[in-house]
Amino acid sequence: MLDYLLIFGGILLLLFGGDWLVKAAIDIALRAKISLLVVGLTVVSMATSAPELLVSLNAALQGHMDISFGNVIGSNIANIALILGLTAMVFPMTVSDRTMKFDWSVMMLITLLLLAFLLDGELIFWESLVLVLILVVYNVYQIRSSRRQQREVQLEDDQKLLKLWQMLGYLVIGIASLKFGSEFLVKGAVNLATLWGVSERVIALSIVSVGTSLPELAASLVASFKGKQDLSLGNLIGSNIFNILAVLGFTGLLVELPLDSAALLTYDFPWLIFISLLLFPFMRYFSRGTITRGQGFIMFSLYILYILGVFFL
């Protein structure tokens, strides 16, 4: 019973902590006059990826490498198949040319780069450093590109700046919630794997990855409900980029990450590449710049099929 409470409490803390951190991050970004699209691709994505970062880092430091890797790979699959699928089933999503041509390409390239790094069975220090350096270059490019395209950012009626003390409060409480939530979730996941008699990889790819992806689901649904589909899709693609570059990059700088489970490469990574590749024709060809409800249902169904394979293959 305690293990379930740890997982439930950890997910709740991650969800609320992620939400509070997103509010603080958006406020900081607006004060810095960063455009809404880049807020989604960088600031919001980094904030919503914070649960994955702390969970993977905590797991790696405790020696649970399958949870560290499974959390990232599972979250990236969930972002595109589960969260994009569910969001598109409710709100068909328009897609900008920039998202189709640039952001998807970056996501695809770093996914393949990570696969190349993991073929020898581990992620070592210099490979992690490469990921972090790419992250820095990517962020600088995004912000500079935004500044060139839009010198001034007009706040909308529902996007008033927070008071300074409110922003700092969200920031501090959000970080604290993420810290304790990640610790509870990792501890509960390890114990639950033992209780159920399954591998840590299975728990990481299902319960842990979905739990840490809840901030992305919330952010995407809210953005789509407000008619900002570019922010919603940008958040999901940006989160996948940050999960690889920031989560595994920073974690790998602190501890070498051996790949304990071969199934992460032979089963999970092929699914990640397949889902990522499928997104492109859905965005560009089948419905001309829109992710339709039907396509969302296909993505969601593929996620269910993937999870069934995780448990039973």
- From first to last of its 313 residues, the chain has per-residue pLDDT tens of 788 899 989 888 888 887 787 788 778 777 777 666 666 556 766 776 778 888 999 999 999 999 999 999 999 999 999 999 998 998 888 887 778 888 899 999 999 999 999 999 999 999 999 999 999 998 888 777 765 555 444 444 455 777 888 888 888 898 888 888 888 998 999 898 888 889 999 999 998 998 888 777 777 777 777 776 666 777 788 889 989 999 999 999 999 899 999 999 999 999 999 999 999 999 887 777 788 999 999 999 999 999 999 998 8
Identify the sign of the CA torsion 225, 211, 58, 275. Answer: negative
Domains with residue ranges and CATH for the chain: 2-312 (1.20.1420.30)
Give me the pLDDT at residue 93, please: 84
Give me the pLDDT at residue 145, please: 73
Contact 55/67 with Cβ under 8 angstroms?
A: yes
Give me the pLDDT at residue 38, please: 66
